[in-house]
């Protein structure tokens, strides 16, 4: 990671107020948001975890179609904006709290499977994990650890939208900030996902530097998409 978690948090705190207006200006960002939402496709009784939820672009859009959405982020400013937007829209099932990729702060009470409801009768599980434009802040070894932490939550699907390289990165035209961002190649992400027991079921190239990967639990591991 080129910056510490606290440095990333402070950076996003300082831009939280204008984040929605500035970030939404890019075609690639909008395309990734749409694809992540489309591929997440939760059922009404699903619990969705949105890692690096920011101001809620993904979590707020999925809240209507899921039972609960757990938004996790490290920037208080971004989370506060997400909570305000949820309140303004009357959305009560988007629960935003501090959590990192490697330690998403999902209480054991939230983890399990549809077959293992808690003693209080509430279902205990994370069914779908989504993350958009956030994992590229981690170094590759940290991304691998994060993907293993996500797999340990036992979701049936993980949808990752992010800066990622489909070909050789073009140093003349980086569509990210090399001083703070650390994007991976699609190959590295695919390997990490399959190593963690996911099967890659869709690869959406939005641009040679942006894409969306869909990974599903795979009892036997291995890829399901032709490469
Ligand atoms: C570019 S924003 C994306 C926000 C949102 N997912 C979206 O699509 O608009 C990246 C977010 O990742 C968060 N973030 C950075 N490092 C993180 C980490 N290690 N764990 C969790 N969130 C992190 C930042 O605070 C920021 O809100």
Residue 22 pLDDT grade (very low, low, confident, very high; cuts 50, 70, 90)? confident
The pTM of the full predicted model, rounded to 2 decimals, is 0.91
- Tokens representing 105 are 């702060």
| Domain at 5-109+121-217, CATH homologous superfamily | Vaccinia Virus protein VP39 (3.40.50.150)
- Using one digit for the tens of pLDDT, what is the confidence trace for 152-174? 999 999 999 999 999 887 777 77
The best mutation among 52, 56, 206 to test binding of ligand 1, ranked by most ligand atoms within 8 Å of the C-beta, falls on 52
Q: Average pLDDT for residues 63-68, to the nearest whole number?
A: 97
Q: In the predicted model, is pLDDT for residue 23 greater than 70? A: yes
**Rounded distance between C-alpha atoms, residue 166 and residue 205, angstroms:** 8
CB of 12 within 6 A of ligand 1: the answer is yes
Q: For strands 198-207 and 184-185, give the pairing.
A: unpaired
- In sequence order, what are the residues at sequence separation of 6 or more whose Cβ sits closer than 8 angstroms to the Cβ of residue 126? 47, 48, 49, 70, 106, 110, 111, 153, 154, 155
Q: What is the pLDDT of residue 54?
A: 98
123 CB-side CA count, 13 A: 14
The best mutation among 1, 74, 82, 101 to test binding of ligand 1, ranked by most ligand atoms within 8 Å of the C-beta, falls on 74
Domain boundaries, the chain: 5-109+121-217
Nearest CA to ligand 1 atom 20: 100
Residue 178 pLDDT grade (very low, low, confident, very high; cuts 50, 70, 90)? confident
Residue 32 pLDDT grade (very low, low, confident, very high; cuts 50, 70, 90)? very high
């Amino acid at each position: 990671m080129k910056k510490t978690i606290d440095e990333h948090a402070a950076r996003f705190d300082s831009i939280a107020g204008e984040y929605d207006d500035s970030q939404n200006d890019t075609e690639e960002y909008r395309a990734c948001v749409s694809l992540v939402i489309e591929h997440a496709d939760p059922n009404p009784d699903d619990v969705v975890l949105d890692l690096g939820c920011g101001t809620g672009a993904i979590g707020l859009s999925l809240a209507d179609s899921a039972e609960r959405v757990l938004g996790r982020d490290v920037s208080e400013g971004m989370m506060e904006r997400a909570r305000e937007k949820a309140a303004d829209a009357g959305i009560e099932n988007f629960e935003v709290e501090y959590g990192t990729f490697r330690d998403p702060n999902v209480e054991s009470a939230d983890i399990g499977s549809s077959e293992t409801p808690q003693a209080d009768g509430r279902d205990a599980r994370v069914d779908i994990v989504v993350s958009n434009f956030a994992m590229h802040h981690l170094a590759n070894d940290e991304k691998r650890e994060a993907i293993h932490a996500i797999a340990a939550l036992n979701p049936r699907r993980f949808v990752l939208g992010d800066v990622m390289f489909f070909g050789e990165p073009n140093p003349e035209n980086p569509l990210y900030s090399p001083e703070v961002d650390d994007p991976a190649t699609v190959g590295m992400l695919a390997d990490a996902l399959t190593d963690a027991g996911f099967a890659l079921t869709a690869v959406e190239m939005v641009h040679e530097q942006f894409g969306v990967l869909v990974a599903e639990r795979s009892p036997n591991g291995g890829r399901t998409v032709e490469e």
